[in-house]
Amino acid sequence: MTIETRPITQGEAVEYLRLTPWVSGFPQEDPEPVAWYTGRAAYPPLVPPTAEQLEGYAAGLLTDSYRPQAAFVDGKLAGGSAIVPVEITLPGGRQVPMGGVSWTAVLPTYRRRGLLRQMMGALLDDCREHGEFLAGLSASEGTIYGRYGFGTATFQHRWEVRRTDAAFRTPFSDPGGLELVDGATAAAIWPVLHEQVRSQRVGELKAQPGRWDGLAAGRLPADGGGPSHHLVHRDAAGEVDGTATFRLPWSPDPDYAGELQVGAFEALNPEASRAMWGLLLDFDLTKRVVAARRPVDEPLRWMLANPRALKLARTRDNLWLNILDVQRALEARTYAATDALVLEVDGVSWRLDASPDGAACTAAPGVAADVSLTVSELGSLYLGGVRASEFRDAGRITEHTSGAVSRLDALLRADRAPHNAMAF
């Protein structure tokens, strides 16, 4: 058996697409996350594309924003994946290129023969060739990607609030105003607002091209949950500073009837956030609000008279980061304190001189390390979403100099939890 890994040609694009769960109909994620939005057991079955649609998608596949790799076993295309180039916001505000590993699948009859391992090597090499010092992915399962150097970097919550429990602590007089808009208006507002939001939020990604085209076209979401509604907040000067997309799906099941599902919600300031949640949590003839893929530090909880009313239904890792170039990565962000530490990452020592203005990172061969860790743990720490002390206590990083882990935490501390609402 010979395994060859290489980018696909245009003539192989249809065969490559046939591997994907979207066409093959094979499960894409473990059964739990399909309940992210509705809490229900499963989405209705996917409707696979027709042969003609598939040809159309294949014709537009090979672009600068999609860099596929495939694994061929004795000449047969048996595995595929791709790098989707994205941009991520780092602590300090720099927005840097990241290779997004996506669309990974191996034919069931060719699994566990090393196809993913070989493809991953090619994908990460491809990132380096394109100057991307970070790679990221969202993982179907938690046990697969740590071995390749990825670490969990952002997390998300799904929560629910019953309308009867949703009183706010303090009355609020909105200096701006709310408006329901149609899909075309929402499709024009979202990209502009998201660009502003992502510059404020560490971990947030640039949206993929065409991300909101479906709203403008009035397309119904594929899961049968009914049409989307779009809420916009404007500040006192009339500038848009928040928007939300939500649905009110009909259900014969009394447990689910009357549920308002928030699919997307972004606000530039607490006033917009307070005003939009105020309407959504007290929407006539609904029983409760469900919001998925929310930041773990959602301020709404602290706006409520009863913070316990916001019930966490699910928590999950979202972005996994892989640091492909330690020096460039550590120099690209800023730090919450001024300090110098020697970090041993996968056996290689680096001296980090860090400050709120930036950092210098230099190879320090032979210098005794303060802390030893792997690149996977560094990926988790990098945006500030996991503390080094948690890894120390879990036995995953070693402290050689007393107090060095606390100092590392002080350097990496984030004011807000890193979060990404966009996917790739």
- Contact between 20 and ligand COA by CB under 6 A: the answer reads no
105 touches ligand COA (CB under 6 A): yes
What's the CA gap between 182 and 188, in Å, rounded?
10
- Rule CB under 6 A: is residue 114 a binding residue for ligand COA? yes
Contact flag: residue 117 with ligand COA (CB under 6 A): yes
Nearer to ligand COA, 105 or 352 (CB): 105
Nearer to ligand COA, 20 or 95 (CB): 20
CB atoms within 10 A of CB 289: 23
Residue 31: CB minimum distance to ligand COA, A:
12
CA contacts within 13 A on the Cβ side of 159: 21
Could you tell me the two tokens for 97? Answer: 């290129």
- Asked whether position 70 contacts ligand COA by CB under 6 A, the answer is no
- Which backbone phi and psi does 278 adopt, to 5 degrees? -60, -45
Q: Where are the beta strands (DSSP E) in 59-218?
A: 67-73, 76-89, 95-106, 134-137, 151-152, 155-162, 177-181
- Quick check: 147 binds ligand COA (CB under 6 A)? yes
Is 104 among the residues that bind ligand COA (CB under 6 A)?
yes
Give CA–CA dist 150/312, Å, rounded. 26
Which part of the chain contacts ligand COA (CB under 6 A), choosing from 111-119, 237-245, 275-283, 388-396? 111-119
Determine contact, residues 312/157, Cβ cutoff 8 Å. Answer: yes
Contacts (Cβ under 8 Å, ≥6 apart) of 11: none
Between 109 and 164, name the residue whose CB sits nearer to ligand COA.
109
Region binding ligand COA by CB under 6 A among candidate stretches 41-49, 108-116, 190-198, 337-345 = 108-116
Minimum Å gap between C-beta 146 and ligand COA is: 10
Q: Does 106 bind ligand COA (CB under 6 A)?
A: yes
**Per CB under 6 A, 140 contacts ligand COA:** yes
Token output for 61: 């596949």
Residue of this chain nearest to ligand COA (CB atom): 116
> Distance (Å, rounded) from C-alpha 272 to C-alpha 265?
10
| Chain residues that interact with ligand COA, rule: CB under 6 A | 79, 104-106, 111-117, 139-141, 143-144, 147
